[in-house]
Structure 1
């Protein structure tokens, strides 16, 4: 039986539009100042592997702007460039050329230690595989990012407990991953991703390993986070998952070929 959830609450800037049946039909609720505030901006990004006859251009002069409070879904076939774009947005890879700004910071100017700090402080990650440490409890897994951020121990426990309660796992704090269902593990991963109040939540096929019922539950949590002001960028192959987002971006051959909404033109 599913445990009751409190409304998700995060300390992230941005307006909180009311939840409606079709999220793509929501009116914009952002002020002009918020619309102008780009959380992430890729300018003329290229990513090239190899050289000469073996050269592969994974991203081809890609430009993309993610504003505060956006909920975007990226779609495309295998090799379209969406995963490469996600890796660059997540500071897990560097572009061959072009500029990437995360929360106003030029990422290309940072060393590896600075990139690690930026990932911990400004980004949250949710993947298809849950990447929970098997020897740790749900509570301890959620506390991990705060250890790296030097949050005091008592505050870590309090915040991690609150996060797990809010994703419906109040009775599972001391369970290890092998004692949790797939949906419960993904909810632990989601609580961990938002524990440091990131400016951008990146989700790479977050429902790919879940059944249809659990998928709906996890997507409902994403909806609640967005309604509370979280900026979300999701990669998915599934149209019904992408339909939860405000805008859908289609990738092909390292470029954006189609976007729902007139804020982004084909490049």
Structure 2
């Protein structure tokens, strides 16, 4: 199940741009409700064991950006105003889908990290090989394998889908793949940290962790993780065709803050020290930019800021 490519979303929404033109008028545009239909399938629930496969070379600093994001998903034991808006608040919207089906809240547990720096099956991969890599990072029954490929690894269809999630029919294992787009299609997969390839051209915003490729990866990991939880086997929550579904995050492509419109990510918080933009805070003082999610209670794209 592919996430909606940002390039396609921007191209579609660019028609709205021609109608409204000015930024002020864009702010008046009210998108239609984005109700996601539940198709009575299983969702992920409870303790979600996640195992990461680092395929290719990643620095320790790059790995820590992704790991800190995952560690920040679970609710804090005690409220911490210094972390607001927090990643765990964003994750509550994902859990609201789980609750609506009577399931237990998801709590993410990072159980393993595997490094395949030598790229054991090559640096040019077919989509079908991603599930093979997922088996290398198998976290066990009911878990999720997160396959992350380095910037010099080319995956079939990379620029059309910056990542995707899927499952194995035999044992219903779930996996997510995301590639580092620092040198491959950053205008599609790392927007708004890079100038977009299509649609309105607004200046890029600063990457909150100073790494366009990795900060872009976190955006896509977040989007696909939300989709994997709420539509793991193709019969959960989605809108449209099961072959190309709009899911909790992909239905809100390009929206990160209030007032967002094509080519403009929305009103974001700005780090006074670095000038970088963000909308969520997490572990170890990290700041991140996360996608809007369709709120199942309002059928609207919900943002943290």
Per the normalisation by structure 1, the TM-score is 0.30
Per the normalisation by structure 2, the TM-score is 0.27
Bigger helix share: 1
Q: Which has the higher contact order (CA 8 A, sep 6+)?
A: 1
Bigger strand share: 1
